[in-house]
Amino acid sequence: MNLKYFDIKEEVAKAIKKNKPVVALESTIISHGMPYPRNIEVAKKLEETIRDRGVTPATIAIIDGIIKIGLNEKELEFMGTDKNILKASRMDLPIVIAKKSNAATTVAGTMIAANLAGIKVFVTGGIGGVHRHAQETFDISADLQELSKTNVAVVCAGPKAILDLSLTLEYLETFGVPLVGYQTDELPSFYSRKSGIKIPYRVDTAKEAALIMKAKWDLGLQGGVLITNPIPEEYSMNEEEIKSIINKAIEDSEKLGIKGKELTPFLLSRIKDLSKGESLQANIELVLNNAKVGAEIAKEFYNLSN
Ligand code: PSU
Ligand code: MN
């Protein structure tokens, strides 16, 4: 790891050095995934949720071209308010660093940074995946490729429901990414617990998830492990309702010709408006729930490794 590109927050550096559990968090959800001021509230609450479980949180972002592993309060607020923050996936990292830009890291970008810093567990809301009509648009999130290359476990509430979930699973299978349901036999679909798609493997405890990570990396198999944790029942949105809202949002995006990096943030924001804020509440609750599970997995993994 070439240190000149990094700034590791003291509490995080200490934890890594002492081999204590650390959980990485991404910043795209703050800068492009949720509106102000909820984004900052959530970013802080996520860190608190992880800290309450005796685990050190490390929110990752790029500020002035430096990869920050762990943000202080001022930096978190900057990421949640500045209007010119880029969105950095694998392809963008070298450019935003060389240009000394400010960028939020996506799942792919955060996985790369976490791995370089030695952090093995990362919590997000929902991963990117194969978009609907990808047969024509080729829009497949770089998150999926990253899961096949970078050794970090990702805890999410399933691929975002705006995607083609079946094609996303096919893609993960082709690229050899282990996928498990956390206390579920069905693939969770972000805003709701259900998708109608059976998930091939289930784990019921954080320790089982940690054992899978250990087995994978002990064998020298490259890539991540994807743990899908359903949104809590009380916040799970009605499937039919959310389906029609998502379809409407996708239609709007097509009419407006929205593509590339802008598509996911556009859809999340449009769905929030169409659902009168209900989807934002669901997004917040699911990511907080993932933080709880991620912290437990980090503890179990470090128990196995030490
Ligand atoms: N989870 C959320 N909200 C988000 C994201 C995840 O609850 O905004 C972000 C992640 O950073 C993920 C990105 O990598 O959405 C996917 O973007 P794209 O489809 O452009 O790859
Ligand atoms: Mn895309």
pLDDT tens digits, 17-72? 999 999 999 999 999 999 999 999 999 999 999 999 999 999 999 999 999 999 99
Written as six digits, the tokens of 107 are 């799942």
Q: Using only C-alpha atoms, what is the Rg of the chain?
A: 18
Kindly state the average pLDDT of the residues 102-112: 98
Q: Is 214 annotated as a binding residue?
A: no
Q: What is the ipTM of this complex?
A: 0.97
| pLDDT tens by residue, 2-19 | 889 999 999 999 999 999
Instruction: For residue 262, indicate whether it is catalytic.
Output: no
**pLDDT value, residue 265:** 97
> What pLDDT was estimated at residue 3?
87
Mean pLDDT over the full length of the chain: 97
Take residue 298 and report the two structure tokens written for it. Answer: 């980090």
Q: What is the best residue among 29, 90, 146, 266 to mutate for testing ligand 1's pocket, by most ligand atoms within 8 Å of CB?
A: 29
121 is in an annotated binding site: no
Tell me which amino acid residue 126 is. G
Residue 113 counted as an annotated binding residue: no
Which ligand lies nearest to the CA atom of residue 25 in the structure?
Answer: 1
Higher pLDDT, 3 or 176: 176
- The domains found in the chain, sorted by start residue, are 3-305 (3.40.1790.10)
- CB of 106 within 6 A of ligand 1: the answer is yes
Under 8 Å between Cβ of 282 and 235 = yes
Nearest CA to ligand 1 atom 5: 29
pLDDT at position 306 over 90 = no
Query: What's the pLDDT at 305?
Result: 85
Give distance in angstroms: CA of 106 to centre of ligand 1.
6
- The catalytic position among 9, 68, 120, 160 is 160
Check pocket membership of 168 for ligand 1, CB cut-off 6 A: no
Write the pLDDT tens digit of every residue in 206-223. 999 999 999 999 999 999
The pTM of the full predicted model, rounded to 2 decimals, is: 0.98
- Confidence band, pLDDT 50/70/90 cuts, at residue 108: very high
| 4 is annotated as an active-site residue | no
Concatenating the DSSP letter of every residue in 152-181 gives: -EEEESSB-TTB-HHHHHHHHHHTT--EEE
